[in-house]
Structure 1
Amino acid sequence: MKKILLCCSAGMSTSLLVTKMKKVAEEKGIDVEINAIALELFEENLPNYDVFLLGPQVKFKKTDFQKKADAFNKKVDVINMIDYGTMNGAKVLDFALSLIK
């Protein structure tokens, strides 16, 4: 099972996106766990997920988070602003899966 974690500041939009991503994964038969957390919980979740996506509003954290994720050989990237704004669960799911080694 692949594990994807979305990180953001407030959480409302990201939680909705997680719901849409889960729906797409279920429809496609993809075995995946997807959750969302606040930025402050990133480090404690590093060992538990395969890839980390940041909401566009917190893209400034990418470099810092990637340095920490490198120790676990994991990727951190920013969700495309248009995909985030339109809540395109399919595109964000595909993007996340493409980052997992």
Structure 2
Amino acid sequence: MKILLVCAGGMSTSILMKKMEKYWEEQGIDLDIRAVGLGNYAEYAKEYEIILVGPQVSYKLQQIKEDTGLPTEAIPSYDYAIANTQNILKLAQKLYAQK
């Protein structure tokens, strides 16, 4: 699964990305993931299959969907805050099924 994570500056999603990589590796799931800031998602989107957006930039969700044409969803605030990788995996799998 190829996931692009988008947040305001790419910093908080980088932390989440590391936890996602570790959890998904433990689950035996192949993951290609990158964390970028809101200003950079368009240049990377074509390399990915789905986009997960941090809650702090969820107001841009519709624009990101329109710009990329990829299945895109905001990570729920609580799951993002505590890095609930199990719930984020479920969300990613739901989006992946839509592609």
Q: Is 1:88 matched up with 2:88?
A: no
Unmatched 5+ stretches in structure 1 = none
Tell me how large the CA RMSD over aligned residues is. Answer: 1.1
CA positional deviation for 1:58: 0.4
Normalising by the residue count of structure 2, what TM-score does the alignment of the two structures yield?
Answer: 0.90
Unmatched 5+ stretches in structure 2 = none
CA positional deviation for 1:20: 0.9
Matching residue of 1:62 = 61
Partners of 1:11 and 1:41 in 2: CA distance = 9
Amino acid at match of 2:80: Y
Runs of 4+ in 1 over 6 A off after TM superposition: none
Normalising by the residue count of structure 1, what TM-score does the alignment of the two structures yield?
Answer: 0.89
CA positional deviation for 1:11: 2.7
Partners of 1:17 and 1:89 in 2: CA distance = 8
Equivalent pairs counted in the alignment come to 97
CA positional deviation for 1:93: 2.1
CA positional deviation for 1:90: 2.0
